[in-house]
């Protein structure tokens, strides 16, 4: 894509009304636009990155055997009353003129449980799992962490349905492994962290925590065996010995990028969601619920991968792989290279602005943070080469123009 088509621009100054690093960088680089506190537009660059994050999540959810659907944002009061969650503080509520009341979906256990009731009757219909990726809404009292804690944010929510706790446990473990794979592909080093099961289960539940000073959580963790507990529940000794290995327990602030819950029969009982087993006995279905926030993931990536010049996207989620710059009259050759790279399946953002100098283009390339910068200049074209530089790595290399497609297609 040509830069001119994006229509957004980088900004010279850090936005004044943002206090979090992720929002400062993402706004300055033209990935997001703040409409209100906690409410953002995902601009073309940000939307491309979010779609890459979503695509990775979808692949791994589908590999679990889950199927995708889309539930409504307008969730009628009757759903929340059935589960006794109508009075949840963070829910945005509205009433229409005919008196119908809705809560804006911040989670969908209630809706999916009612839907399952229509289709699931027998043990033969179990297990199954379904997920969606959707804007969710939470009326956060404070929304100062940029897109780490938005009032409107993207969520992937997966729900699973089982005949008994043992089958839930099997799937729960599958999801845990699937999530580790998701975060690994996203370039994030996530600790599987024990946390309180809250109202749903007496057992621990698991959070996926990424170490970052921007985080609102604190985890106690062992770097060696990766055992980890949330501060809220832990008795682990800071600086002491790990109970699982001979490592040492560290403490750090962290961002919760995912969580998995054993819901048990909390919702199936509220909605009378039962199944008939082989003996003809009716039993409540056992459920699980599993979340990843793609927009929070994008914010986490910005927090974890940046330097003083700007963002440094992992290749798997970069909006484009290559930032292409033409210098001093090399525009014609650059346009050819642009086309050649796309022909090789390399996603290129071409800085085609003719009223900007080299310094400004280099600064924007660093700020936007694509993995590879390619510079086409008359100087290196004399050697039939272009300059290739990896973002955040020292040095550069000259690559012959004729090899540029093959070299960068990976």
Which residues contact its own copies (rule: CB under 8 A)? 1, 4-9, 30, 33, 35-36, 39-44, 46-47, 50, 65, 67-76, 92-94, 96-97, 100, 104, 111, 114-116, 118-120, 124-125, 128, 130, 134-135, 137, 139, 151-152, 161, 355
The nearest distance, CB 1 to its own copies, in angstroms, is 7
Decide whether 246 or 355 has the Cβ nearer to its own copies: 355
Residue 116, both tokens:
């399952």
Decide whether 39 or 363 has the Cβ nearer to its own copies: 39
Decide whether 89 or 246 has the Cβ nearer to its own copies: 89
Decide whether 39 or 233 has the Cβ nearer to its own copies: 39
Cα gap 286→164, rounded to integer Å:
6
The nearest distance, CB 287 to its own copies, in angstroms, is 13
The nearest distance, CB 288 to its own copies, in angstroms, is 15
Decide whether 114 or 366 has the Cβ nearer to its own copies: 114
**366, 255, 257: which is closest to 312 by C-alpha?**
366
The nearest distance, CB 283 to its own copies, in angstroms, is 18
Q: Quick check: 283 and 274 in contact, CB under 8 A?
A: yes
* End-to-end Cα spacing for the chain: 19
Residue 309, both tokens:
């010049």
Q: Which letter does DSSP use for residue 264 in this model?
A: E
Neighbours of 57 (CB within 10 A): 23
Q: Quick check: 57 and 64 in contact, CB under 8 A?
A: no
The nearest distance, CB 105 to its own copies, in angstroms, is 10
Cα gap 264→348, rounded to integer Å:
47
DSSP per position, 112-164: HHHHHHHH--BGGG-SEEEEEEEEEE---S---SGGGS-SEEEEEEEEEEESS
Decide whether 207 or 351 has the Cβ nearer to its own copies: 351
Cα gap 171→260, rounded to integer Å:
11
**74, 175, 191: which is closest to 130 by C-alpha?**
175
Residue 49, both tokens:
């990155």
The nearest distance, CB 77 to its own copies, in angstroms, is 10
Provide the strand spans (E) within 98-146. 101-104, 128-137
The nearest distance, CB 68 to its own copies, in angstroms, is 6
- Provide the β-strand partners of residue 282: 276
**67-68/128-137 β-pairing:** parallel
- Provide the β-strand partners of residue 156: 133, 292
Q: Which letter does DSSP use for residue 154 in this model?
A: E
Decide whether 93 or 344 has the Cβ nearer to its own copies: 93
Residue 283, both tokens:
């039993």
The nearest distance, CB 135 to its own copies, in angstroms, is 6
CA 25 to chain centre: 17
Decide whether 105 or 215 has the Cβ nearer to its own copies: 105
Decide whether 8 or 196 has the Cβ nearer to its own copies: 8
The nearest distance, CB 97 to its own copies, in angstroms, is 7
Alpha-carbon distance values, 21 to 15, 180, 183, 286, 343 (Å) = 10, 25, 21, 41, 36
- Provide the β-strand partners of residue 388: 374, 397
Decide whether 1 or 381 has the Cβ nearer to its own copies: 1
The nearest distance, CB 33 to its own copies, in angstroms, is 5
**209, 404, 205, 229: which is closest to 297 by C-alpha?**
209
């Amino acid at each position: 894509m040509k830069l001119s088509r994006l229509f957004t621009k980088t900004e010279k100054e850090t936005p004044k009304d943002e206090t979090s690093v992720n929002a400062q960088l993402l706004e300055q680089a033209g990935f997001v636009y703040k409409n209100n506190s906690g409410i953002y537009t995902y601009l073309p660059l940000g939307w491309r990155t979010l779609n890459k994050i979503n695509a990775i999540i979808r692949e791994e959810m589908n590999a679990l055997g889950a199927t995708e659907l889309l539930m409504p944002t307008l969730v009628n009061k009757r759903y929340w009353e059935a589960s006794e969650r109508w009075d949840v503080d963070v829910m945005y509520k509205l009433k229409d003129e005919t008196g119908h009341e809705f809560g804006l979906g911040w989670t969908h256990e209630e809706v999916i449980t009612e839907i399952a009731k229509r289709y699931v009757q027998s043990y033969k219909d179990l297990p199954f799992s379904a997920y969606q990726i959707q804007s969710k809404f939470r009326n956060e009292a404070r929304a100062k962490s940029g897109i780490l804690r938005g009032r409107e944010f993207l969520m992937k929510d997966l729900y699973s349905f089982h005949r008994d706790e043992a089958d839930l446990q099997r799937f729960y473990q599958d999801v845990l492994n699937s999530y580790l794979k998701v975060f690994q592909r996203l370039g994030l080093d996530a600790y599987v962290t024990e946390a309180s099961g809250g109202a749903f289960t007496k057992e621990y539940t698991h959070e996926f925590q990424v170490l970052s000073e921007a985080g609102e959580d604190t985890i106690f963790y062992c770097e060696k065996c990766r055992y980890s507990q949330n501060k809220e529940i832990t008795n682990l000794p800071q600086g002491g010995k790990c109970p699982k290995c001979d490592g040492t327990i560290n403490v750090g602030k962290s961002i919760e990028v995912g969580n998995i819950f054993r819901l048990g029969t909390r919702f199936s009982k509220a909605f009378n969601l039962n199944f008939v087993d082989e003996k003809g006995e009716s039993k409540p279905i056992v459920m699980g619920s599993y979340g990843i926030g793609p927009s929070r993931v994008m914010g986490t990536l910005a927090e974890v991968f940046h330097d003083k010049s700007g963002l440094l996207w992992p290749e798997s989620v970069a909006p484009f792989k290559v930032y292409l710059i033409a210098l001093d009259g090399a525009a014609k050759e650059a346009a050819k290279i642009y086309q050649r790279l796309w022909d090789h399946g390399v996603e290129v953002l071409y800085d085609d602005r003719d009223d900007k100098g080299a310094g400004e283009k280099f600064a924007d390339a660093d700020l936007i943070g694509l993995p590879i910068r390619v510079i086409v200049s008359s100087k290196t074209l004399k050697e039939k080469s272009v300059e290739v530089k990896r973002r955040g790595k020292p040095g550069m290399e000259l690559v012959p123009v004729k090899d540029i497609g093959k070299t960068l297609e990976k």
